[in-house]
């Protein structure tokens, strides 16, 4: 990584999802002039209707040794929550091989340590922003329960809990009866899981509402937004990027931050750089919530076996999950939404009328290890930073990675890229 103590006057942030907007927020607070470019509008990509959980203490990466036992089902079962569709795409194959290479206990443990540190920093940044701005985003701090279907899975979760305990995570292993005491809405399915990990300090919020509020706040403070503007390429002069070329003209700046999610890879490749980010497709539905006692969960719940999460957002219930490596594909197959709906009705039959489902699909930008790419790349332009690859933890990690980018840009700290 090239080091610099230069403080840019004008920073261009590419991407207006939660990561890009958090980055713009931190940079504006640090005194920079900021421009944000996005091919659509604020919060319309992977931030629009994600799982809504802020999982600061539960960050186990997808690349885990247990994935090897799931490979046959992952590749062959039509109803698997993890799906891989092999395509004639060298990037997909390279990413997949790196992902499998990362499915080792030593790598998973190192990743967990790094993610917990970043999550703790992100919590501090998000909490500070919320205390200062009082954003209306259906925020709750009611904790999280992760349900495990059998004793083997529960034992693995307890091992992960013990790994995280010395790193500051406060978690408890609960029996089904104890889990129901924490979340009474689980009473009807207590006999169908072996145990649960309870993280009392976890939170939830509507990421899209946060994005829209940040856009309003930043505009009021002079941040310029160029929406409906794809970045065709970055114009380079020597060792520096001088402008981002869009259909509406070139936008010049002193420094550039790429927070384009899955679009970060092709943009980096156009500069001869490699960013190991691949789309990890997920789905969600959002339904009305029944306020009757014990009907709708108030604690966030994750069904570990079916890879489905539940988060209460005011008078709504967000149901999200699945992970598919199927390329840049945002289609919403009816069977995937039907699967989410079946899981929701199975666990929480009285939580909603389940009529207006508001189905959604989004592409999480994932790295093979689960660690995001934060910083400049070796061999890259001196004034080009990347903030991408957060996978399913984009909302959780956004403000921490934004703070790291802001520190690097102001020269007060220098952190190399993580991937």
Burial-class residue 84 by CB neighbours within 10 Å (0-12, 13-18, 19+): middle
Nearest in space to 365 (alpha carbons), one of 268, 287, 285, 286: 268
- Please compute the mean of the pLDDT values over residues 244-267 and round it to a whole number: 96
Q: Decide if pLDDT at 419 tops 50.
A: no
CB 367 within 8 A of CB 26: no
Higher pLDDT, 353 or 412: 353
3-class DSSP assignment, residue 58 = coil
How is the beta sheet containing 240-246 ordered, strand by strand?
233-237, 240-246, 249-252
Q: Is the pLDDT of residue 5 over 70?
A: no
Percent of the chain whose predicted confidence (pLDDT) is above 70:
94
* Whether the predicted pLDDT of 2 surpasses 50: no
Work out the pLDDT band at 17, boundaries 50, 70, 90.
very high
Contact 45, 362 (CB under 8 A): yes
Determine the pLDDT at residue 60.
Answer: 78
User: Of the ranges 32-46, 63-77, 327-341, which one carries the lowest mean pLDDT score?
Assistant: 63-77
Q: Using the 8-state DSSP alphabet, how is residue 380 labeled?
A: S
pLDDT reported for residue 417: 45
pTM above 0.75, yes or no: yes
Segment holding 361, helix H or strand E: strand 360-366
Cβ neighbours of residue 302 under 8 Å, at least 6 residues apart? 53, 144, 145, 146, 147, 308, 309, 310
What is the pLDDT averaged over residues 237-262?
96
In 3-state terms, what secondary structure has residue 260?
coil
Element (H, E) at 68: helix 67-76
Has residue 416 got a pLDDT over 50?
no
Structure confidence by residue, pLDDT tens digits, 70-95: 777 666 666 677 777 778 889 999 99
Which pLDDT score, from 0 to 100, does residue 8 have? Answer: 67
User: What CA–CA distance (Å, rounded) separates 168 from 320?
Assistant: 27
| pLDDT in the model for residue 78 | 66
User: Cβ–Cβ contacts within 10 Å for residue 342, how many?
Assistant: 13
Q: What is the rounded average pLDDT of the residues 401-417?
A: 75
CB 281 within 8 A of CB 362: yes
Report whether pLDDT(1) > 60: no
pLDDT of residue 407: 95
Distances (CA, A) of 398 to 125, 304, 382: 9, 24, 23
Give the pLDDT score at 67: 74
Q: Measure the CA–CA gap between 345 and 26, rounded to whole angstroms.
A: 41
Q: Confidence class of residue 414 from pLDDT cuts 50, 70 and 90?
A: very low
SS3 label, residue 264:
helix
3-state secondary structure 306-353: CCEEEEEECCEEEEEEEEEECCCCCCCCHHHHHHHHHHHHHHCCCCCC
Contacts 24+ apart (CB under 8 A), 169-174: 169/57, 169/58, 169/116, 169/199, 170/57, 170/199, 170/200, 170/201, 171/57, 171/58, 171/197, 171/198, 171/199, 172/197, 172/198, 172/200, 173/197, 173/198, 174/145, 174/198
What gap in Å lies between CA 56 and CA 261, rounded to an integer? Answer: 20
To the nearest 10 degrees (0 to 180), the angle between helices 151-164 and 105-133 is: 70
pLDDT score at 413: 38
What mean pLDDT is reported for the chain?
92
Helix (H, G, I), strand (E, B) or coil at 389: coil
Q: How far apart are CA 286 and CA 362, in angstroms?
A: 14
Q: Are 16 and 215 a contacting pair, CB within 8 Å?
A: yes
**CA contacts within 13 A on the Cβ side of 389:** 25
Q: Residue 14: is its pLDDT beyond 90?
A: yes
Beta carbons within 10 angstroms of residue 197's beta carbon: 26
Helix, coil or strand: residue 76: helix
Beta-carbon contacts of residue 295 (< 8 Å; ≥ 6 apart): 185, 348, 350, 351
Strand partners, 323: 82
Render pLDDT for 132-175 as a digit per residue (tens, 0 to 9): 999 999 999 999 999 999 999 999 899 989 988 888 889 999 99
The mean pLDDT of 225-239, rounded to a whole number, is 95
Residue 177 pLDDT > 70: yes
Q: Cα separation of 126 and 289, whole Å?
A: 26
Strands 172-174 and 10-14: unpaired
Average pLDDT value for residue range 95-109: 91
């Amino acid at each position: 990584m090239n080091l610099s103590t230069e403080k840019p006057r004008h920073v261009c942030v590419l991407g207006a999802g939660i990561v890009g907007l958090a980055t713009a927020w931190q940079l504006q607070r640090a005194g920079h002039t900021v421009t944000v470019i996005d091919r659509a509008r604020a919060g319309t990509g992977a931030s629009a209707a994600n799982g809504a959980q802020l999982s600061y203490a539960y960050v186990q990466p997808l690349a885990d040794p247990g994935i090897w036992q799931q490979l046959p089902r992952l590749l062959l079962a039509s109803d698997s929550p993890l799906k891989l569709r092999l395509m004639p795409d060298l990037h997909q194959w390279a990413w997949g091989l790196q992902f499998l290479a990362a499915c080792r206990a030593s790598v998973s443990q190192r990743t967990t340590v790094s993610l917990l540190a970043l999550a703790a920093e992100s919590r501090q940044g998000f909490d500070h922003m919320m205390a200062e701005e009082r954003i209306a985003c259906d925020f709750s701090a009611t904790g999280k329960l992760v349900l495990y279907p059998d004793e083997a899975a529960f034992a693995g979760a307890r091992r992960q809990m013990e790994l995280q305990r010395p790193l500051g995570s406060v978690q408890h292993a609960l029996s089904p009866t104890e889990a129901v005491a924490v979340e009474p809405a689980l009473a009807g399915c207590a006999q169908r899981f072996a145990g649960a990990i309870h993280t009392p300090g976890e939170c939830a919020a509507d990421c899209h509402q946060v994005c829209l509020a940040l856009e309003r706040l930043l505009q009021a403070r002079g941040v310029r937004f160029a929406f409906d503007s794809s970045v065709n390429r970055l114009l380079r002069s020597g060792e520096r990027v001088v402008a981002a070329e869009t259909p509406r003209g070139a936008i010049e700046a002193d420094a550039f931050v790429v927070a384009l999610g899955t679009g970060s890879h092709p943009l980096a490749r156009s500069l001869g750089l490699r960013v190991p980010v691949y789309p990890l497709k997920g789905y969600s539905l959002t339904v009305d919530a029944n306020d009757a006692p014990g009907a709708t969960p108030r604690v966030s719940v994750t069904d570990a076996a079916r890879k489905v999460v539940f988060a209460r957002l005011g008078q709504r219930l967000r149901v999200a999950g699945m992970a598919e490596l199927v390329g840049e594909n945002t289609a919403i197959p009816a069977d995937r939404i039907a699967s989410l709906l079946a899981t929701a009705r199975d666990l929480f039959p009285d939580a909603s009328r389940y009529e207006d489902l508001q189905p959604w699909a989004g592409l999480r930008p994932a790295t093979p290890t689960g660690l995001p790419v934060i910083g400049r790349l070796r061999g890259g332009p001196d004034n080009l930073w990347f903030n991408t690859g957060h996978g399913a933890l984009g909302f959780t990690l956004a403000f921490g990675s934004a703070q790291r980018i802001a520190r690097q840009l102001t020269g007060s700290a220098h952190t190399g890229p993580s991937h």
